Chains A and B, each alone.
Chain A
Amino acid sequence: KNQVEQSPQSLIILEGKNCTLQCNYTVSPFSNLRWYKQDTGRGPVSLTIMTFSENTKSNGRYTATLDADTKQSSLHITASQLSDSASYICVVSRNNAGNMLTFGGGTRLMVKP
């Protein structure tokens, strides 16, 4: 079964601290993996996308890693800001199904001052 599991489910950190969110997937075949940020009451917004051959991708203070052998990805947030408070969703695309996406349940991050 194609699944995407994320951990932790929720996380609280202090402003300025770093954190790392985890994503494990069993989706096959694999096309790409994306991390989305979803603010409360908004639709998800793409942060990074990585294909099979890419190990890391950065977008400002966000750095995503991918290990296609172990089917694991992480999203590292550096020097967190209050505006980073949101849900972060890991999404894996299968390459034989158009652009069908399998979504993880998300990690809800709260950054406190």
Chain B
Amino acid sequence: GAGVSQTPSNKVTEKGKYVELRCDPISGHTALYWYRQSLGQGPEFLIYFQGTGAADDSGLPNDRFFAVRPEGSVSTLKIQRTERGDSAVYLCASSSYVSDTQYFGPGTRLTVL
């Protein structure tokens, strides 16, 4: 595709539920990043992939958060037992190699009631 796409654009769930957020990077980009952005703040790093492997997951807040990229393209961010504090916009970005410019998707707005 022309850019990074993310689905769904909006997700409303109840506290305690499980959610999956999907990211389709730009074709051919080997590096993929997940960020979380709270209202009025800059994005906060969660995890990044180089190919299929998570090169750095130090930003994941706790073990309820997990991300995969099984074929080195599409990635899924998974959140178990959601809490109200998980409400935020989850941004995905990709780059052609690890030190290149990152191109961001539009984000998924997650609301936990």
Contact = CB atoms under 8 A, between A and B. Distances in A.
A106 B35 CA distance: 15
Contacts, number: 62
Given A43-B91, A43-B93, A105 B99 contact: no
Contacts of A82: none
A101 B45 contact: yes
B43 A44 contact: yes
A43 B42 contact: no
B2 to A, nearest CB: 13
A46 B3 CA distance: 14
B102 A89 contact: no
A98 B44 CA distance: 16
Interface string B29-68: 0010101000011111100101000011000000000000
A43 B45 contact: no
Contacts of B104: 42-45
A41 B39 CA distance: 11
B107 A100 contact: no
Interface of B: 4, 31, 33, 35, 40-45, 48, 50, 55-56, 91, 93, 95, 98-107
14 contacts: A4-B42, A31-B99, A43-B91, A43-B103, A43-B106, A46-B102, A98-B50, A99-B33, A99-B100, A100-B56, A101-B45, A105-B41, A105-B42, A106-B40
Given A46-B101, A100-B56, A104-B42, 10 more contacts: A43-B103, A89-B42, A97-B56, A98-B31, A98-B56, A99-B95, A100-B45, A103-B44, A103-B45, A106-B41
Closest 10 CB pairs of A and B: A43-B104, A103-B42, A98-B98, A99-B98, A105-B42, A103-B43, A44-B104, A99-B99, A89-B42, A43-B105
